[in-house]
């Protein structure tokens, strides 16, 4: 009894750590004026999210979140930050107008959050009685049978994206 209590306590602690990491990362990503810090905030947020995915019984997606978001997306954005002008300029906005627009946005987003949390806390969500396993094995079988077409299409989309990115970024460059 004492043992299971301790386990619950530790699990709760790790869960709160994941929640806090996600929110703090998101706040840094949205608020800091230096872009490189903002990218770091995104990376921290993704780290927390992968913890949340782990708690949602999906270690596979937790791994993928770290691999794709931190390993690929954030690193790509860091490269872009290095290639273009890094910092946001001081806003040319007047102070009053900045306050006005920022306040309006705050009110709007707070309203949206309130509405969404009303929806989230409503008792309408019924939990499924019995669930499949959702194991990595099940994911693999689904990917190669039911969703094989989508799987192939996404690889095609990635290929087109790579070629398109090269083509767009290359145009306008002078020959050496």
Q: Which of 17, 55, 103, 152 binds other proteins (CB under 8 A)?
A: 55
Closest separation between CB of residue 68 and other proteins, Å?
5
Q: By CB under 8 A, tell whether 121 contacts other proteins.
A: yes
Closest separation between CB of residue 49 and other proteins, Å?
6
Q: By CB under 8 A, tell whether 66 contacts other proteins.
A: no
Q: By CB under 8 A, tell whether 77 contacts other proteins.
A: yes
Instruction: Tally Cβ neighbours within 10 Å of residue 44.
Output: 21
Closest separation between CB of residue 157 and other proteins, Å?
6
Residues contacting other proteins: total by CB under 8 A: 90
* H or E element in which residue 155 lies: helix 148-170
Tokens of 61: 């997606």
Residue 132 or 176 with smaller CB distance to other proteins: 132
CB 5 within 8 A of CB 21: no
Indicate the SS3 state at residue 175: coil
Residues between 13 and 42 that touch other proteins (CB under 8 A): 15, 19, 22-23, 26-27, 29-31, 35, 38-39, 41-42
CB 41 within 8 A of CB 29: yes
How far is it, in rounded angstroms, from Cα 45 to Cα 53?
Answer: 12
Burial bucket for residue 32 (CB in 10 Å: 0-12, 13-18, 19+): middle
Q: By CB under 8 A, tell whether 176 contacts other proteins.
A: no
Q: By CB under 8 A, tell whether 149 contacts other proteins.
A: no
């Amino acid at each position: 009894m004492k043992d299971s209590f301790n386990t619950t306590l530790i699990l709760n602690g790790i869960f709160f750590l994941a929640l806090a990491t996600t929110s703090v990362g998101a706040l840094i990503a949205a608020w800091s004026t230096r872009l490189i810090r903002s990218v770091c905030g995104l990376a921290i947020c993704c780290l927390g999210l992968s913890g949340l995915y782990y708690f949602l019984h999906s270690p596979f997606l937790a791994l993928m979140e770290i691999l794709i978001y931190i390993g690929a997306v954030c690193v790509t954005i860091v490269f872009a930050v290095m290639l273009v002008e890094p910092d946001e300029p001081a806003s040319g906005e007047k102070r009053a107008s900045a306050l006005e627009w920022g306040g309006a946005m705050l009110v709007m987003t707070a309203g949206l959050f309130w509405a969404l949390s009303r929806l989230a806390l409503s008792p309408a969500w019924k939990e499924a009685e019995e669930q499949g396993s959702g194991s990595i094995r099940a994911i693999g079988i689904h990917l190669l049978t039911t969703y094989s077409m989508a799987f192939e299409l996404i690889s095609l989309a990635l290929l087109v994206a790579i070629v398109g990115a090269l083509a767009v970024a290359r145009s306008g460059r002078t020959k050496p």
